[in-house]
Chain A
Amino acid sequence: MSVEQVERELARLRMDEDGTPGLRASVLNLVTVTDEESAGEVTRIVSKLAGRFPCRAIVMISDTEEQDANLDIRVSAFCDVQGGTGSQVCAEQVEIHAEGPPAHHLMSLAGPLLLPDLPVFLWYPGPFTPNLPEFSSMADLADRIVVNSAAASDSGVCLQELSELAQDTSMPAVGDLQWVGLSPWRSLVTALFDPPDRREELEQIHRVEILHDSRGESRALLLAGWLASTLGWRPESARDNDGAREFVFDGPSGEITVALDPGSEDASLRRVRLYGRELSFQVSRHRELTEAMSTVMRGEELLGERTVQLGFFDQDIILGEELRFRGRDESYAAALRTVAEMLEL
């Protein structure tokens, strides 16, 4: 199938029943590099995204180990019917299976199929490392790289590599779905210190406890990294005790201990506690429920509490949040730098 044939076929798929061309209100290109096993899930996510982010998705499934060259291209369109007129708005998907030599040249396949004048997001839904063979050439096409640091077999290594990548100004900006998923937590922790009389407590935090499970390690590290980089804590030492990690920081008001406990049984990120001079603060989530509770305590006395929605959990919604963001995320880069320093201790 040539580029022209792909374009023609996509136009045909967008046609309404009466043969008129369907609307194409595209906002971005989404290039995905994945494997055969995950392709179905990626297609499902792209189809769910179609309504909110009409885009051209190019799903690349490559197998570089195969000796014989093989190239298979399939196109599909996911259309949402709009309001009263019944007009369709479509997202297009081009699925490219490349085996053997073509799999080493994915850029040559993706490049000509990109919609012009729209940003290109390069999304790695699976394990990511900048050492992937096709990465640097694919990155040349991209305006933003989106990864999932929790998909790596070792989140710590992945975060360290991402830290280097985020500091490399010759590379596109980097986004991480784990950082996006952490946003509601960061928002809730931040809100605990909005009342002016609590600001002093923020300066006096001396202990942080983060309860997570193995899936939530990346988020727990990023949460610790974000607090430390924002509050000016420098990593001093680290201790590993049966999977539970403890980091000691030197902050403006003295020593701070951050304990990461992987003992959560019912949620990837279960609870974060912060201890100030007089007050303690907690944000917690029960099981995988959509709500989280924030509390403020003075000793045993409850000073305030509230329950809100944590927000989004589905991959397509998290990815959608990330696709809204443009440019470099300095807070994420700073959190990554601190995480990398913590892991080097």
Chain B
Amino acid sequence: MPETLQQNVLRDEQRLPAVPDPGVVVIFGASGDLTARKLVPALYDLAQGRRLPMEFAVVGISRTPMSHDEFRQKLRKGLDEQRAGSVSEDVWESFSKGLFYLPGDSKKPETYEELKAFLQQLDEERGTGGNRVYYLSSSPSLFSTIVERLGEAGMSQEEEGSGYARLVIEKPFGRDLESAKELNGDILRYFREKQIYRIDHYLGKETVQNILALRFSNGIFEPIWNQHYVDHVQITVAEDIGVGTRGAFYEEAGALRDIVQNHVMQVLCLTAMEPPVAFDADSLREEKVKVLKAVRPIPEDEVGEYAVRGQYDGGWVFGEEVKGYREEGNVAPDSETETYVALKLLVDNWRWAGVPFYVRAGKRMPKKSTEIAIQFHKTPHTPFSGPDTRGLEPNVLVIRVQPEEGVSMKIGAKVPGSGFEVRSVNMDLLYGSAFMEEAPDAYQRLLLDLMLGDPTLFIRADEAEGAWEILQPVMESWSKDGHSARYAAGTWGPDEAAALLGHDGREWRRP
């Protein structure tokens, strides 16, 4: 085939953005919230911004009986809520022509026969080219069944010239190590790892990706990013909200499964990993897995020394009185489910030997904040006399992921005047402000990446399992002893969490 026919030569230039090949996104569990609130608005944004091909369609599947038009109306309502005032009627009309709905039970094989025929029809009528993304947005308990049915129907195969078949799985990837392995095993019976895209939307956030940019595009940080210079690291993922309407889900999950296993572990990996040789899927994920493997296993009988869990009582958050976790809807009145977790993790490798990573995640904290604080060693000696250096603390580099992305560096500076009084001063830079353009929504970025076939920002099977492996002893220990320490809403967690650092002569910073 001549070169010009193999590729679209018009696209061969740096200023035209990549656009995926024609294709269909099939969403299982399409009547759920995620489709209307996140997935379809993100796809609409991509379509509006010329990042989707003309030959594109979405097929929603769930048990709720609905026509194509009713499905479109429901999605339009969701879009209006999510993108108030910015929806173009003309663009919607064009985009919505590619939205379809099939009512069906995802457990039944006949649903897949019907789906298969419908997708073939779309290929013929809309030129979608045989490319499929199967997005599992249904209950996790259905994941294995859907995969099995897809496989049995021959829909997971990628044959030469038949287009791609990609599977997207939303977290949680199992609920412990065993179930994660089981789920991965079930999926791998029908899909190859290359076809599987495990989404943790945290990785789609620009601000999270910026951790990599800060570390690996600035030569000044890497030489001091190790045990020679770093005393310890604190990672905080704090939310000011409670569980809200997610009580039933949270009762099953808890903070460890909901936040720590995925978001916190990802941030830990990005903070502690070695520089990847390239920003591609395998290079990046290899390095992340190495970090997870290097985390020292917590002995089950010593969990109390490494892990703290807490649950919020009623309290005050930013002037508003809020109820305790047990008073929330769909929560057992005697629930011990943790809404707060603090862990001390040790990364046993050359770079981080002896440097504790203290991580915490919780709900109903005083404010929403995600940050990584690298606390450096004290100066080995200061020439300034004792009284002059009161108030001088070790350097801290803080990478703020949200809400105000930036870095701050605590440095010592001379107080103006006679004498040589030195104090700590925060140098604060909101580097996000240098590029105040609206960052794409995390789902927008991830959906585009998966249609372009770039799995870099998705989780590999061994990453998901590695994260569970670290937490497994904690989960097992906590399942035997049901007590969560209490903390008042609007505080930074239970006293036991302060003690976790206090034993090491350290304390949590206030984000």
Contact = CB atoms under 8 A, between A and B. Distances in A.
B55 A195 contact: yes
B164 to A, nearest CB: 13
- Which of B22, B88, B433 has the most A CB atoms < 10 Å from its CB? B433
A83 B368 CA distance: 13
Given A54-B434, A200-B5, A308 B10 contact: no
B50 A191 contact: yes
Contacts of B4: 199, 202-203, 231, 252
A84 B15 contact: no
B94 A325 contact: no
A108 interface: no
Given A296-B54, A309-B48, A329-B15, A83 B404 contact: yes
A136 interface: no
Given A188-B50, A311-B49, A194 B434 contact: no
Contact of A187 (B12, B17, B433): B17
Contacts of B5: 199-200, 203
B50 A202 contact: no
Contacts of A23: 428-430, 433
Given A25-B434, A202-B9, A290-B88, A305 B15 contact: no
B207 to A, nearest CB: 13
A111 interface: no
Interface string B1-23: 01011111111111111010110
B154 to A, nearest CB: 23
Given A27-B434, A51-B436, A89-B433, A202 B10 contact: yes
A62 to B, nearest CB: 30
Interface in A174-204: 183-184, 186-197, 199-200, 202-203
Given A52-B435, A305-B94, A82 B430 contact: yes
A52 B437 contact: yes
Interface string B142-182: 00000000000000000000000000000000000000000
A144 to B, nearest CB: 14
Contact of B16 (A54, A183, A231, A296): A183
B8 A84 contact: no
A294 interface: yes
A38 interface: no
A195 B22 contact: yes
A138 B329 CA distance: 67
B90 interface: yes
A291 interface: yes
Contact of A191 (B53, B93, B436): B53
A187 B91 contact: no
B50 A184 contact: yes
A197 B22 CA distance: 11
B334 to A, nearest CB: 37
A26 B430 CA distance: 11
Nearest to B91: A307
A80 interface: yes
Contacts of B436: 51-52, 80, 89
Nearest to A227: B10
A45 to B, nearest CB: 16
A291 B50 CA distance: 11
B435 A291 contact: no
B10 A189 contact: yes
Contacts of B11: 190, 194
A194 B21 contact: yes
A186 B10 contact: yes
Contacts of B434: 25-27, 54
B19 A194 contact: yes
B404 A85 contact: yes
B16 A187 contact: yes
Contacts of A329: 14-15
A320 B436 CA distance: 11
A305 B93 CA distance: 11
Interface residues of A, number: 54
A133 interface: no
**Mostly helix, strand, loop or mixed at chain B's interface?**
loop
Contacts of A202: 4, 8-10
A308 B47 contact: yes
B88 A291 contact: yes
Contacts of B48: 308-309
B54 A309 contact: no
Given A54-B434, A188-B50, A199 B428 contact: no
Contact of A54 (B9, B15, B54, B433): B433
B9 A305 contact: no
B431 interface: yes
Given A231-B9, A309-B48, A194 B433 contact: no
Nearest to A23: B430
B511 interface: no
A230 interface: yes
A198 to B, nearest CB: 8
A278 to B, nearest CB: 15
A308 B19 CA distance: 14
A304 interface: yes
Interface string B397-413: 00000011000000000
A113 B498 CA distance: 51
A53 to B, nearest CB: 8
A48 to B, nearest CB: 12
B90 A195 contact: no
Contact of B403 (A83, A199, A227, A311): A83
Contacts of B22: 194-195
A76 interface: no
A87 interface: yes
A333 B91 CA distance: 33
A84 B17 CA distance: 34
A290 B86 CA distance: 12
Interface in A292-334: 293-294, 296, 303-309, 311, 320, 325, 329-331
A6 to B, nearest CB: 22
B127 interface: yes
A89 B430 contact: yes
B222 to A, nearest CB: 20
A163 B235 CA distance: 53
B60 interface: no
A213 to B, nearest CB: 22
Interface of A: 23, 25-27, 51-52, 54, 80, 82-85, 87, 89, 183-184, 186-197, 199-200, 202-203, 227, 230-231, 252, 290-291, 293-294, 296, 303-309, 311, 320, 325, 329-331
6 contacts: A23-B430, A54-B434, A192-B54, A195-B21, A203-B4, A291-B88
Given A195-B53, A306-B95, A325-B15, 18 more contacts: A23-B429, A23-B430, A25-B429, A27-B434, A51-B436, A52-B435, A84-B403, A183-B16, A191-B53, A195-B22, A199-B7, A252-B4, A291-B88, A309-B49, A309-B91, A329-B14, A329-B15, A331-B14
Interface of B: 2, 4-17, 19, 21-22, 47-50, 53-55, 88, 90-91, 93-95, 126-127, 129, 403-404, 428-431, 433-437
